[in-house]
Amino acid sequence: MYQKLVRKEVMGILEKEVGSFLDKFLTPIEKIWQPSDYLPDPSSDDFKHDLEEIQTFAREMPYDLFVTLIGDCITEEALPSYESWLMGVDGVNQEQKVGWANWVRAWTAEENRHGDLLNKYLYLCGRVNMREVEITTQYLINDGFDLGTSMDPYRNFIYTSFQETATNISHRRVGTLAKQSGNGKLAKMCGVIAADEARHAKAYKHFVAKILEIDPSEMILAFEDMMRKKIVMPAHLMRQSGQKAGELWGHFSDAAQRCMVYTGHDYINIMKDLLDEWKIEHVKGLTEKAEKAQEYLMKLPARLQKITDRVSTPDLQFQFNWVKS
């Protein structure tokens, strides 16, 4: 007979393994890279040469790709919102120095380096109106977000599994395109950030897999609910000066689509990968309601593909306040 488990009970079971999660998916602070490893050293004799190289390649970057890089930086810089959200998830006791609270802090500490690195790169590159970027970042933190997860750990782990994968794709693609144009410094920066995101995605996918072993029906239902709502990006309320919350997101998304950094097809492919990763089709012992959710999830990629094939991306470039004219 199926017994519905309380979320906090399941989180308590997994919390005993958080120490192993930290060792497996995060890197010790003394060993991991830092932003200064990839940025020009102002005290070096080569600083002027390195700075000129950065600025030359920045001027040559296609507009949509450059805007996507800036938007990725802003998304990373809104980290305070993400940490505060995860600290409020059911089963996370932020007063503790161990367990899930320790995971959230350690994950945040790794993520914090991404915004630091990209922000300093953009500051040095000379093509960015940093004040406008800072306004967008402050607005994004101020406006917050609604991920559709409430404080449910199951939905939050579904979301982070999806989002960390999407972030990995975006940074990796920007890096690949930068490398193709000879911009090796930016390619390395994006590459090391993407590698972090890939590790973090593995962690959250592992958490979901563990919960599927303990509470399969409720996790399947949480997965279905998140996909019915559709996964929103953490910067979906992005705006620039003079705009209302969310007005800029569509333009940023269009730019990322046009330069093929992140597209509707990527969304579908992430969905397929998660279905495969968690072996959703083969999960047994489900309630009748969860079995219907399982069936819905397995059919969803094909349905989304038909919709995506009919959607066209606007060709007209939007003029962002972030980029100096």
| pLDDT in the model for residue 256 | 96
pLDDT tens profile 115-170:
999 999 999 999 999 999 999 999 999 999 888 899 999 999 999 999 999 999 99
Is 114 a catalytic site residue?
yes
Instruction: Report the DSSP beta bridge partners of residue 127.
Output: none
Single out the catalytic residue among 76, 215, 218, 266: 76
| Whether 279 contacts 297, CB under 8 Å | no
Q: Is 315 contained in some domain?
A: no
Q: Is 282 annotated as a binding residue?
A: no
Q: Is 76 annotated as a binding residue?
A: yes
Single out the catalytic residue among 111, 152, 215, 254: 111
Is 41 a catalytic site residue?
no
Exposed / middle / buried, residue 188 (Cβ in 10 Å: 0-12, 13-18, 19+): middle
CA distance 79 to 57: 28
Q: Over range 235-261, report the average pLDDT.
A: 96
Is 282 a catalytic site residue?
no
Is 33 a catalytic site residue?
yes
Is 111 a catalytic site residue?
yes
Share of the chain above pLDDT 70, in %: 98
Q: Is 217 contained in some domain?
A: yes
Would you say residue 3 has pLDDT above 70?
Answer: no
Single out the catalytic residue among 68, 137, 165, 167: 167
| pLDDT in the model for residue 4 | 59
pLDDT tens profile 256-280:
999 999 999 999 999 999 999 999 9
Would you say residue 311 has pLDDT above 90?
Answer: no
Is 83 a catalytic site residue?
no
| pLDDT in the model for residue 111 | 98
| Domain that includes residue 233, residue range | 1-309
Q: Is 241 contained in some domain?
A: yes
Q: Is 325 contained in some domain?
A: no
Per DSSP, helices labelled H in the chain are 7-15, 18-25, 47-60, 63-77, 79-87, 99-125, 130-143, 153-180, 184-214, 216-229, 249-258, 264-277, 288-310
Q: Is 206 contained in some domain?
A: yes
| pLDDT in the model for residue 316 | 80
CA angle 210–228–200, rounded 5-degree value: 40
pTM: 0.95
pLDDT band at residue 1 under the 50/70/90 scheme: very low
Would you say residue 176 has pLDDT above 90?
Answer: yes
Q: Is 30 annotated as a binding residue?
A: no
Q: Is 323 contained in some domain?
A: no
| pLDDT in the model for residue 95 | 86
| Contacting residues for 211 by C-beta, under 8 A, at least 6 apart | 10, 14, 154, 157, 219
| Whether 261 contacts 170, CB under 8 Å | yes
Is 76 a catalytic site residue?
yes
Would you say residue 296 has pLDDT above 80?
Answer: yes
Single out the catalytic residue among 200, 206, 236, 251: 200
| DSSP for 225-252, written as a single string | HHHHH-PPPTTTT---TT--TTTTHHHH
CA distance 79 to 81: 5
Single out the catalytic residue among 64, 77, 152, 196: 196
pLDDT band at residue 2 under the 50/70/90 scheme: very low
Q: Is 44 contained in some domain?
A: yes
- 3-state SS assignment for residue 128: strand
How many structural domains compose the chain?
1
CA distance 266 to 136: 26
pLDDT tens profile 48-93:
999 999 999 999 999 999 999 999 999 999 999 999 999 999 999 9
State the amino acid at position 127 in one-letter form.
R
CA distance 163 to 304: 18
Is 295 a catalytic site residue?
no
| Contacting residues for 142 by C-beta, under 8 A, at least 6 apart | none
The overall average pLDDT reported for the chain is: 95
Would you say residue 215 has pLDDT above 70?
Answer: yes
pLDDT tens profile 83-95:
999 999 999 998 8
